[in-house]
Amino acid sequence: MTLSKFDQLSTSYVPKNSRVLDLGSNDGHIGKYLIKNLKCHVVGVEIDKKLASISRKSLNEVIIGDLENKMVQQEIFKKQKFDVIFASAILEHLKQPQIILQQLKKTLKKSSIIIINLPNIAHWSIRLNLLFGNFNYTKSGILDKTHLKFFTVKTALRFLEKECDLKIKTVDYDLPEVPIFSKLAKLIITKKCQEKIFRSFPNLFAYQVLVVAKIK
């Protein structure tokens, strides 16, 4: 499976030969990429038994269960220290993600990093739908029906710094093109200039925010 452009960006922050804890490892496609291309040792955590079974074929180890279950946390604590916690599209599914991150800090070395991806509820597409009175849940994406938490770019950064007590090192964005705007913009400005505009207003244009953080 080929990684999306944003997943490629996220995994680019993972150092080679790292021990990685992949939260919500899904079918293991990201972990498989890390093992094959970066020679990492990947331990996945996945609540869906079917997906966990698939990921076991690719990952070094897989823990099946709910991250908010203390028994699952104990299983994680039994492992050796990790260099990276990879939390892509998972924190928004948890009841108390700040508690989970606080707990999982125990599994990290002082030099370790936490890579976090969160969807941006303030994206222009959501704002446009709200303008017409629509807030419809979907099978995936920003309004995934299994999401329990919603963040804007601003509140995501504040949440990670203040409630999770993390030190933010890097912030990047998933900036997909705006269909009509992009077609019109190409007639006037370059793609590079267009991206510069998007980056100037991430709360409006970022579909997801990528954060690389360290423990304080």
Domain CATH code at residue 46: 3.40.50.150
pLDDT number for residue 148: 97
Number of separate helices (H) and strands (E) present in the chain: 10, 7
Does the pTM surpass 0.75? The reply is yes
**Residue 208 pLDDT level (bands cut at 50, 70, 90):** very high
What pLDDT score does 183 carry?
Answer: 59
Q: What is the pLDDT of residue 49?
A: 96
Q: At what angle do helices 97-104 and 70-77 cross, to 10 degrees?
A: 20
Residue 18 has pLDDT above 90, yes or no: yes
Q: What percent of the chain has pLDDT over 70?
A: 94
Amino acid, single-letter form, for residue 10: S
Q: What is the mean pLDDT of the chain?
A: 94
Is residue 187 over pLDDT 70? no
156 contact partners, CB below 8 Å, separation of at least 6: 118, 120, 209, 211
Q: Band of the pLDDT at 192, cuts 50, 70, 90?
A: confident
What pLDDT, on a 0 to 100 scale, did the predictor assign at position 127?
97
pLDDT digits (tens, 9 = 90+) for 85-122: 999 999 999 999 999 999 999 999 999 999 999 999 99
Report how many domains make up the chain: 1
HEC string of 120-174 equals ECCCHHHHHHHHCCCCCCECCCCCECCCCCCECHHHHHHHHHHHCCEEEEEEEEE
Residue 176 pLDDT class (50, 70, 90 cuts) = confident
Where do the H-state alpha helices sit in 62-141?
70-77, 97-104, 124-131
At 16, list the tokens.
């080679």
Range of the domain at 195: 5-215
Q: How far apart are CA 54 and CA 138, in angstroms?
A: 24
Q: Which two tokens mark 209?
A: 């925010």
pLDDT number for residue 2: 82
Which H/E stretch holds residue 204?
Answer: helix 202-205
Q: Is the pLDDT of residue 186 over 70?
A: no
**What was the pLDDT predicted at 132?**
96
Q: Tell me the per-residue pLDDT of 116-165, one tens digit each, with 9 for 90 and over.
A: 999 999 999 999 999 999 999 999 999 999 999 999 999 999 999 999 99
How many Cα atoms within 13 Å fall on the side-chain side of residue 5?
8
CA-based angle 165:65:118, to the nearest 5? Answer: 40
Residue 180: which pLDDT band, with cuts at 50, 70 and 90? low
Span 44-64, pLDDT tens digits = 999 999 999 999 999 999 999
